[in-house]
Structure 1
Amino acid sequence: MPAGRLAQTHASSEAIKRAGMHLLEGHSKLDELAREDSEALSVPLPDQATPEQQGWVDQLKNARGQAFDQLFVDLLRASHGKIFITIGEVRATTKNSLIRRLATQTNNTVQDHMEVLEDTGLVKDATLDDVASTIPK
């Protein structure tokens, strides 16, 4: 969500600002659903970004204009692509109906976000290659 907020002030293009708002809205809805499920399952959720996620936010905070636009797309398309694989594994194997519902909604949201990022025209082959390199063979 912080990346989506930063896009509103740091991006040079309206496409990136729209993508940022779209991601912010989607992740807000997922966050709400995850918190509901967390409470129902009595499973605590972290309330801070991981060090990797915080590093992405720090990079984005220091970028402006077209450099921000490209970094935003590179980081977010790669991270969404990588987690998309994990979501599929969770959805395919969990026996818990709440987790299946959350995984399904997350899958749909992440796929939508990848498409929005791709629609900016800034996704590079190197980003997709990075994602592909993380898939177990």
Structure 2
Amino acid sequence: MRILRLLFVIAVIATVSSCGISATGGWHGEVPGEHQRKDTTMPAQYGALYPADIKMLVAVAQAGLWEAPASADVALRSSNPAVRKVAEQLDREHHVLHEDNMAAADRLQIQLPQAPTPQQQAWQDEIRAATGDKLDRLYVNLARAAHGSVYMAIATVRSTTQNDVIRSMAAIAETYVSRHMALLESTGLATSDALAVHSGTDAQYQSIPAPADLGRGIAVALAIGLATLLLVRLGSRVRPAEVAEEDEAAARWD
């Protein structure tokens, strides 16, 4: 039972130590986006190419694959002059952006998707099925939220990439997407929900311990545990002697 209690104490100490280091360590001591530079996907002629770099090209491609046809549809069917004008510009510029993105992918020998994601296709279908004021509001809010999501990915890559082609493409895409958000907002139909980023990229960073910090915490906990075990062993050896002395003193008094 004594050993079990000791093991329980060691486990508690290890947990507390790890949590304490986690609270002080924060985001592994890194800034957002730093983890995207940990593993090089491949060496490239224009600089190291990372997973986040490729994901940005894919995200830009898929955004254009649904936003361009959706904008073309709204430009034809909307009865709102402001929405129609914005949709026409977005349709036109998404085709130009797509060509630039394809050129960057070709230089890096990256194959891009030829279809939007199922969620993006569902958005396009929802817009296609709407009419009147619902069509305008649905288009503006879905497109604005989608642009906000991809904008964050582009900005992160723009500030962290080491590849010249990716950096140039990120700067181009950032300009387009930022302008598109402003245009959609200029219609006056973008709600507060549309201004939020509906993507996993907006999840808050969690304060988890880095591997090195966790290792140090476990080492400290084990050291404390071993010291405790040593004290218990010493105490168990001294205790019988103390009991014997007390018994002898009691016998003399008797």
TM-score normalised to the size of structure 1?
Answer: 0.93
**Matching residue's letter, 1:8:** A
**Matching residue's letter, 1:63:** A
> SS at 1:99's partner residue?
helix
**Matching residue's letter, 1:100:** R
Q: Alignment RMSD, CA only?
A: 1.6
2: CA distance, partners of 1:80 / 1:42 = 26
2: CA distance, partners of 1:81 / 1:34 = 18
2: CA distance, partners of 1:26 / 1:106 = 11
1: CA distance, partners of 2:201 / 2:169 = 23
2: CA distance, partners of 1:7 / 1:62 = 11
Moved more, 11-20 or 111-120: 11-20
Gaps of 5+ in 1: none
Larger Rg, first or second structure (1 or 2) = 2
2:168 to 78, 101, 114: 101
Structure 1 match to 2:191: 124
Aligned residues: 137
- % identical aligned pairs: 34
1: CA distance, partners of 2:115 / 2:200 = 27
Going from structure 1 to structure 2, the CA distance change for 1:101 and 1:69 (only over 3 Å counts) comes to same
> SS at 1:32's partner residue?
helix
Alignment of 1:45-84 (within 5 A): 45-84=112-151
Instruction: Please report how far the alpha carbon of residue 10 of structure 1 lies from its aligned counterpart in structure 2 after TM superposition.
Output: 2.3
TM-score normalised to the size of structure 2?
Answer: 0.52
Instruction: Please report how far the alpha carbon of residue 134 of structure 1 lies from its aligned counterpart in structure 2 after TM superposition.
Output: 5.3
Instruction: Please report how far the alpha carbon of residue 126 of structure 1 lies from its aligned counterpart in structure 2 after TM superposition.
Output: 2.2
Runs ≥4 in structure 1, deviation > 3 angstroms?
A: 129-134
User: Does the aligned pair in 2 maintain the 1:33–1:102 contact within 8 Å?
Assistant: yes
1: CA distance, partners of 2:163 / 2:99 = 19
Render the CA deviation track for 1:60-91: whole Å, top value 9, x for unaligned: 11011111000001100000011111111111
Going from structure 1 to structure 2, the CA distance change for 1:130 and 1:107 (only over 3 Å counts) comes to closer
